[in-house]
Amino acid sequence: MKHLIVKPFPKDFFWGASTSAYQVEGAWNEDGKGPSVIDMREKYPEGTTDYKVASDHYHRYQEDVALMAEMGFKAYRFSIAWTRIFPNGTGDVNIKGIEFYSNLIDELIKYGIEPIVTMYHFDLPYALQTRGGWSNRGTIDAFVEYAKVLFENYGDRVKYWLTINEQNMMIMHGKALGTLDPNLEDPDRELYQQNHHMLVAQARVMDVCHQTLPQAKIGPAPNISYIYPASSKPEDVLAAQNFNAIRNWLYLDAAVYGRYNKTAWSFFEEKGYVPVIEAGDMEILQKAKPDFIAFNYYTSKTVESSTGDGNDKNGTGDQEIVIGESGVYKGHSNPNLPKNEFGWEIDPIGFRTTLREVYDRYQLPVIITENGLGAFDKVEEDGSVRDPYRIDYLKKHIEQMQLAITDGVEVFGYCPWSAIDLISTHQGAKKRYGFIFVDREEYDLKELKRIPKQSFYWYKDVISTNGENLS
C-alpha cells in the first residue's frame, strides 16, 4: 500500500537502543560474578577477542548513561548477567551483582530513561551448563528462581521485562553463538528438547511476573525475519512456509498461544526431534500470556524448495547466512537485496513486512529490540567517526517502521543495536554497531575512550523530533 499520508510516531514512543551484558560490561570475574557459557567457550572465532573487558561498561556505566541521555534516549534495553546475580546459576545471591544493576537502573531513571530488561541474553551460568544446561529440567526452576530475585529487587522500578533473547537463534545457531554445549551427543534432537524447556521456563516466568508485579509488562524477544519464497513456484512457497514455521512461528505461537505450531511439529516428527513433554507442561504454556512482542530484526531470508540431495545448505559466511534443511527448504540468496560487508542482506521493506505479519498473527503491541548495521568504523584524523552507512541503514528501517505504523501495526518502541560499541557475537571488537565509538582494538584495549559518532548526532535529532526529521 502506498500511503499518501503517513502517521506520526506515537507520543511517548520508546526511542532508545540496546546492549547485552556479556558484550558490553567486561569485569567478567569481578565482584563475585561467576562464569557463563560465553566466558568458558573453548575458542572464539579466529582473530577475535574474548569478552573479559568488552567495552568496560561495568566500570563506566555512568559516563555511558550520560551519553545516552545526551542523545535523548527514552528507553534503554540491556540485559542482566544471570551470573552476577547467581554466580552458580542457583543458590546464593551475590549482593554486589544486585547492587550493580540497581545502580544502573537508578542512573537511567535519573535521566528519565525507561529501563527495559532482558533477563537472559545467551550467557547461561556455566555451573548450570555443567549439569546439563537446558537439557536438565532443573534449569527451568533455576530460571524461575532467578526471575523472582530480579522481580523482587527491581520490580519497583522496572516495568518492561524481556524473558529470553533470541531463543530461536540459540536453538538454530547455537554453535556459532557459542551457546551450544559442544559435547551434546545428538545436538539436533536434544536442541528441541532444550527449546521445550526454555518455553516452559519462559511461560512460568511470565506468569510469576503477572502474579507478583501486576503493573509490569513482559514478553519474549526472538529474532524474527520474514521468509520469502525464491519464486512464485508453489514448491518454493511451501518451502518458505516451512522455514517461517520452524524459524519464526514455532517460538511465537508457543509464547502467545501456548501451543506448538503444526508445521514445525510435523518437521519434528519427520526428523525425529519430537521433545518429551511432561504432564502439565502444555497447561503452563497456555496459562502464560505475554503483554507484548519484542523482536530483533536485521535481515529477511529467502528459500527455495529442497533438492533433498544433501545440498540444501546455501550461502556464505557464518551465523544465519548458511541455511537449509534437507527435504524442508534450501537457502537462497535474494538477488533483489544488497548485502552488508558481512554478507547479511539489507531489507528495510522486509522489516515492514515482518512487522505486519507479526502483528496480524498475534495482535499484540510490538517493540523492536534490535536492528542495526555492523561495520568497520574508524576514527578520522580530526578525531571524528563518520558512519553515513549506518545512518542510511537505520533511516530506511525507521521509514519502513513508520509505514508499518501507518498500516495499523501497534509499535511502541525502537531500540536498535547497539547503544554503544560492544563485542560482536561473531566478529569481535572490530565489527561495530554503536552510536558511541569505544576506542579499543581487538587485542589492544587502549583507553577505551568514548567518542560520539556521526550517527549519535543524527539519532539525537531523530529522537528530539519524534522521528519527523530523518535526514
> Catalytic amino acids?
166, 370
Q: Which is nearer to ligand BG6, 224 or 284 (CB)?
A: 224
Q: Is the dihedral of CA 132, 135, 141, 145 positive or negative?
A: positive
Q: Which is nearer to ligand BG6, 204 or 426 (CB)?
A: 426
CA angle 432, 434, 436 (to 5 degrees): 115
Minimum distance from CB of 403 to ligand BG6 (Å)?
Answer: 24
Query: Shortest Cβ contact with ligand BG6: which residue?
Result: 424
Q: Is residue 97 near ligand BG6 by the rule CB under 6 A? A: no
Q: Which stretch binds ligand BG6 (CB under 6 A): 57-65, 164-172, 282-290, 381-389?
A: 164-172
Minimum distance from CB of 162 to ligand BG6 (Å)?
Answer: 11
Q: Which is nearer to ligand BG6, 78 or 268 (CB)?
A: 78
> What is the spatial distance between Cα 30 and Cα 34, in angstroms, rounded to a whole number?
9
> What is the spatial distance between Cα 379 and Cα 385, in angstroms, rounded to a whole number?
5
Q: Is residue 20 near ligand BG6 by the rule CB under 6 A? A: yes
DSSP code at position 248: I
Q: Are 112 and 106 in contact (CB under 8 A)?
A: no
Q: Is residue 179 near ligand BG6 by the rule CB under 6 A? A: no
Q: How many residues does the chain have?
A: 471
Site for ligand BG6 (CB under 6 A): which residue of 332, 397, 426, 432?
Answer: 426
CA angle 53, 56, 58 (to 5 degrees): 115
Q: Is residue 49 near ligand BG6 by the rule CB under 6 A? A: no
Q: Which is nearer to ligand BG6, 44 or 257 (CB)?
A: 44
Q: Which stretch binds ligand BG6 (CB under 6 A): 193-201, 267-275, 419-427, 463-471?
A: 419-427
b (16+ CB within 10 A) / e for 391-424: bebbbbbbbbbbbbbeeebebbbbbbbbbbbbbb
Task: Provide CB contacts within 8 A for 275, sequence distance 6+.
Answer: 192, 193, 195, 196, 268
Q: Is residue 166 near ligand BG6 by the rule CB under 6 A? A: yes
> What is the spatial distance between Cα 118 and Cα 112, in angstroms, rounded to a whole number?
19
> How many angstroms from the chain centroid is the CA of residue 196?
19
Q: Which three-class secondary structure state does DSSP give residue 338? A: coil
How many other C-beta atoms lie within 10 A of the C-beta of residue 106? 12
Minimum distance from CB of 20 to ligand BG6 (Å)?
Answer: 5
CA angle 241, 340, 439 (to 5 degrees): 130
Q: Is residue 417 near ligand BG6 by the rule CB under 6 A? A: yes
Q: Is residue 165 near ligand BG6 by the rule CB under 6 A? A: yes
- Residues near ligand BG6 (CB under 6 A), total: 15
Q: Which is nearer to ligand BG6, 20 or 242 (CB)?
A: 20
Quick note: the x/- pattern for ligand BG6 over 365-384, rule CB under 6 A, is -----x---x----------
Minimum distance from CB of 306 to ligand BG6 (Å)?
Answer: 25
Residue with cell 534443511: 325
Q: Which is nearer to ligand BG6, 25 or 370 (CB)?
A: 370
Q: Are 413 and 160 in contact (CB under 8 A)?
A: no
> What is the spatial distance between Cα 406 and Cα 403, in angstroms, rounded to a whole number?
5
Q: Which amino acid is at 215?
A: Q
Minimum distance from CB of 11 to ligand BG6 (Å)?
Answer: 29
Quick note: the x/- pattern for ligand BG6 over 278-307, rule CB under 6 A, is ------------------x-----------
Interacting residues with ligand BG6 (CB under 6 A): 20, 23, 165-166, 169, 223, 296, 319, 370, 374, 417, 424-426, 431
